[in-house]
C-alpha cells in the first residue's frame, strides 16, 4: 500500500493562511490496524492490530509504514496487539490484551514473550530512561492497575486505585509523571514518580483511546474514542478539541471540519508538529450483537500542531483559574468556587460517569474574582462525576464523587 494524498497534502501546506490551520489527511488505504501506534528513531510508523471489534481482540500483526508510504508486515503471532513502545536499542515492546503478556520484538521482527507476571488485559505501554516499562492492566485479575516491569522482566505493582477505569493509554512527561487515559470513562489520571494517583482532567465523550506526550512543546494529546475527536491537553489540565466534528467519519481537510471514527492510537513526531492517528472505517455499531467494529482502519495525519497561531491555542490567563469544591464525596449538595483573573463568557456543566451532560449548572459571563455555585445532586445515581468549565473551545475539569 502507498500514500494516497501526498501531492494534495503538499499543495494544502503551501497555501496555508497566515493564521495556521491544523490539516488532516489520510495516508493509507484501509487495512487491519486498530491498535497502538509508535514511531521509531528513523520516523517509520508501527501500527498494531487490536482486532475486529472491541469484543474481539484477535489481531495478530504489527505493521510498518515507512517514510515513503509503503506498508509491510513487521511481526506476527501476537494476541490482541494494542499499545507499544520502543527502547533505545530499537526493540518494540508490544502488549497482548487477549494473551495477557508483553512481547519483545527485535528490529528484525523476531517476537518473544518478555513479561507476564502480574499482567492481565494489558493495553498501554510506556518506558523510562532506565528501560523500566509501565503497563496499563485494563481488566482481569490485575485490572485497574499500572504494573512496572524492570529490564530483567520482573514486575511489581506501581499504581492502583478506584480512579482507574480500564486504564488504556499511558505516556510519560519530562518530569517522570505518567498520564493514563481511561477507556471506561473520560478521565485522565496523573501518576507521580512515586506512584501516587490523582485525577488530572476529564475529556468529554466517556471513553478515551491512547494518550501521548509531546516533548517539543510540553503538551499532551488524547484520542477521544467516545466523542470521535482529538484533544490537546496542557500540563495545567486545560483540554481543547483540536480536530474532529464529533460525528463519526473519515473526512480529511481543515481540522475543524475533519472527522474520525473511534480514534485510538497516537504517535507524535520529535518536532511536535505532526500527529499520527488511526481511525476505524466502520461508522456504525450493531446493537443486537453488541458488535463495535474497529477494522479495517486508516492511518490519519495531523499537521500544524505546534504553531502558536493555530485557533486552538489556549490563552495563558486560563492557567490562573482556580477551581475548588466541597464537600467531596457528596450526598445531596456541594459548592463550586471558581476564581477568574478576568471576566469571560462560558458554561459550567456536570457530566455523569459515562461522560454525558446531565446538568447545566451555569451559563453566562464568569466575573473577574470569585464565582460560587450551589449544585444539587440528590436525585442523581451514585458514581464518579465531573464538572467542566467551557470557555470557548477550552475546558477545565474536576472530579466529584456522588454517594
Question: Would you state the cell numbers that stand for residue 192, as one nine-digit string?
Answer: 507521580
| 255 shares its domain with 341 | no
In the predicted structure, residue 346 carries a pLDDT above the cut 60: yes
pLDDT confidence of 141, banded at 50, 70, 90? very high
Query: In terms of domains, do 286 and 345 share one?
Result: no
71-128: pLDDT as tens digits: 999 999 999 999 999 999 999 999 999 999 999 999 999 999 999 999 999 999 999 9
CA distance 284 to 261: 9
Q: Is residue 1 part of a domain?
A: no
On whether residue 67 sits in a domain, the answer given is yes
Report the predicted TM-score, pTM, of the whole model to 2 decimal places: 0.92
Q: Enumerate residues 6+ apart whose C-beta is below 8 A from 15.
A: none
What's the confidence (pLDDT) of residue 316?
87
pLDDT tens for residues 310-327? 767 788 899 899 999 999
269 part of a folded domain: yes
Evaluate the CA torsion angle 71, 77, 80, 84 in order and state its sign.
negative
Stretch 337-351: mean pLDDT:
95
pLDDT score, position 311: 66
- For residues 380 and 292, membership in a common domain is answered with no
Give residue 313's pLDDT: 75
Query: Residues 205, 340: one domain?
Result: no
Q: How confident is the model at residue 186 (pLDDT cuts 50, 70, 90)?
A: very high
Residues 73, 140: Cα–Cα separation, whole Å? 30
Dihedral sign of CA atoms 151, 155, 157, 163 in order: positive
pLDDT of residue 314: 82
Model pLDDT for residues 355-386, shown as the tens digit of each residue? 889 999 999 999 999 999 999 999 999 998 99
Q: What does the pLDDT look like over 347-363, one tens digit per residue?
A: 999 999 888 899 999 99
Query: For the chain, what is the mean pLDDT?
Result: 92
Q: Do residues 70 and 23 touch, judged by C-beta distance below 8 A? A: no
Same domain, 270 and 386: no
Cα distances (Å, whole numbers) of residue 258 to 213, 244, 249, 255: 23, 5, 8, 5
The whole-angstrom separation of Cα 100 and Cα 143 is: 11
Whether 308 shows a pLDDT value over 80: the answer reads: no
C-alpha cell at 134: 509501565
What pLDDT does residue 3 have?
41
Tell me, what CATH number does 383's domain have?
Answer: 2.60.40.2550
Residue range of the domain that includes 379: 316-402
Residue 341 shares a structural domain with residue 267? no
* pLDDT value for 10: 38
Predicted confidence at residue 269, as pLDDT, reads 97
Lowest mean pLDDT among 43-57, 107-121, 231-245, 282-296: 282-296
Last residue of a domain, one of 303, 326, 351: 303
Residue 107 lies in a domain: yes
**Picking from 110-114, 304-308, 390-394, 395-399, which range would have the lowest pLDDT averaged per residue?**
304-308
| pLDDT number for residue 356 | 87
25 φ, ψ to 5°? -140, 155
Domain boundary among 280, 303, 326: 303
310 falls within a domain: no
- Asked if residue 132 is part of any domain, the answer here is yes
**Residue 284 shares a structural domain with residue 213:** yes
Looking at the predicted structure, is the pLDDT value of residue 137 above 90?
yes
Give yes or no for residue 232 having a pLDDT over 60.
yes
Query: How many domains is the chain partitioned into structurally?
Result: 2
CATH number at residue 116: 2.120.10.30
50 within a domain of the structure (yes/no)? yes
Residue 83 and residue 207 in one domain: yes
Q: Indicate the residue among 303, 333, 349 that finishes a domain.
A: 303
**Residue 84: predicted pLDDT:** 98
Same domain assignment for residues 229 and 205: yes
Asked if 77 and 175 sit in the same domain, the reply is yes
Q: Is residue 232 a part of any domain in this protein?
A: yes
For residues 203 and 114, membership in a common domain is answered with yes
Q: Is the pLDDT of residue 277 over 50?
A: yes
Question: What number is the average pLDDT over the span 137-156?
Answer: 96
| Residues 337 and 289 occupy one common structural domain | no
8-38 pLDDT, tens digit per residue, is 443 333 334 345 789 999 999 999 999 999 9
Amino acid at each position: 500500500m502507498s500514500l494516497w494524498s501526498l501531492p494534495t497534502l503538499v499543495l494544502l501546506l503551501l497555501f496555508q493562511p497566515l493564521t495556521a490551520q491544523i490539516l488532516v489527511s489520510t495516508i493509507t488505504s484501509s487495512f487491519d490496524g486498530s491498535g497502538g501506534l509508535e514511531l521509531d528513531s528513523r520516523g517509520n510508523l508501527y501500527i498494531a492490530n487490536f482486532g475486529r471489534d472491541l469484543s474481539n481482540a484477535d489481531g495478530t500483526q504489527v505493521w510498518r509504514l515507512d517514510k515513503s508510504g509503503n506498508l509491510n508486515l513487521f511481526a506476527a503471532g501476537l494476541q490482541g496487539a494494542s499499545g507499544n513502545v520502543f527502547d533505545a536499542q530499537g526493540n518494540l515492546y508490544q502488549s497482548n490484551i487477549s494473551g495477557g503478556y508483553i512481547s519483545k520484538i527485535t528490529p528484525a521482527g523476531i517476537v518473544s514473550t518478555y513479561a507476564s507476571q502480574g499482567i492481565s488485559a494489558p493495553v498501554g505501554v510506556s518506558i523510562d530512561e532506565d528501560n523500566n516499562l509501565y503497563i496499563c492492566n485494563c481488566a482481569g485479575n490485575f485490572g485497574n492497575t499500572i504494573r512496572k516491569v524492570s529490564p530483567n522482566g520482573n514486575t511489581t505493582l506501581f499504581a492502583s486505585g478506584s480512579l482507574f477505569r480500564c486504564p488504556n493509554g499511558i505516556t510519560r512527561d519530562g518530569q517522570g509523571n505518567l498520564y493514563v487515559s481511561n477507556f471506561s470513562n473520560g478521565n485522565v489520571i496523573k501518576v507521580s514518580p512515586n506512584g501516587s494517583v490523582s485525577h488530572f482532567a476529564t475529556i468529554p465523550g466517556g471513553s478515551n483511546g491512547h494518550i501521548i506526550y509531546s516533548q517539543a512543546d510540553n503538551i499532551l494529546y488524547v484520542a477521544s474514542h467516545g466523542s470521535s475527536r482529538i484533544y490537546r491537553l496542557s500540563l495545567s489540565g486545560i483540554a481543547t478539541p483540536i480536530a474532529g466534528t464529533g460525528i463519526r467519519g473519515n473526512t480529511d481537510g481543515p481540522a475543524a471540519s475533519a472527522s474520525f471514527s473511534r480514534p485510538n492510537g497516537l504517535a507524535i513526531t520529535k518536532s511536535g508538529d505532526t500527529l499520527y492517528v488511526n481511525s476505524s472505517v466502520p461508522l456504525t455499531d450493531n446493537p443486537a450483537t453488541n458488535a463495535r467494529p474497529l477494522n479495517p482502519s486508516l492511518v490519519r495525519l495531523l499537521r500544524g500542531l505546534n504553531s502558536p497561531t493555530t485557533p486552538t491555542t489556549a490563552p495563558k490567563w486560563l492557567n490562573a483559574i482556580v477551581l475548588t469544591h466541597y464537600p467531596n464525596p457528596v450526598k445531596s449538595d456541594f459548592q463550586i468556587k471558581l476564581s477568574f483573573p478576568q471576566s469571560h463568557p462560558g458554561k459550567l456543566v456536570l457530566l455523569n460517569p459515562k461522560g454525558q451532560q446531565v446538568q447545566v449548572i451555569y451559563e453566562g459571563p464568569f466575573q473577574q474574582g470569585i464565582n460560587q455555585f450551589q449544585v444539587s445532586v440528590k436525585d442523581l445515581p451514585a458514581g464518579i462525576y465531573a464538572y467542566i468549565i467551557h470557555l470557548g473551545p477550552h475546558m477545565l475539569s474536576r472530579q466529584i464523587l456522588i454517594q
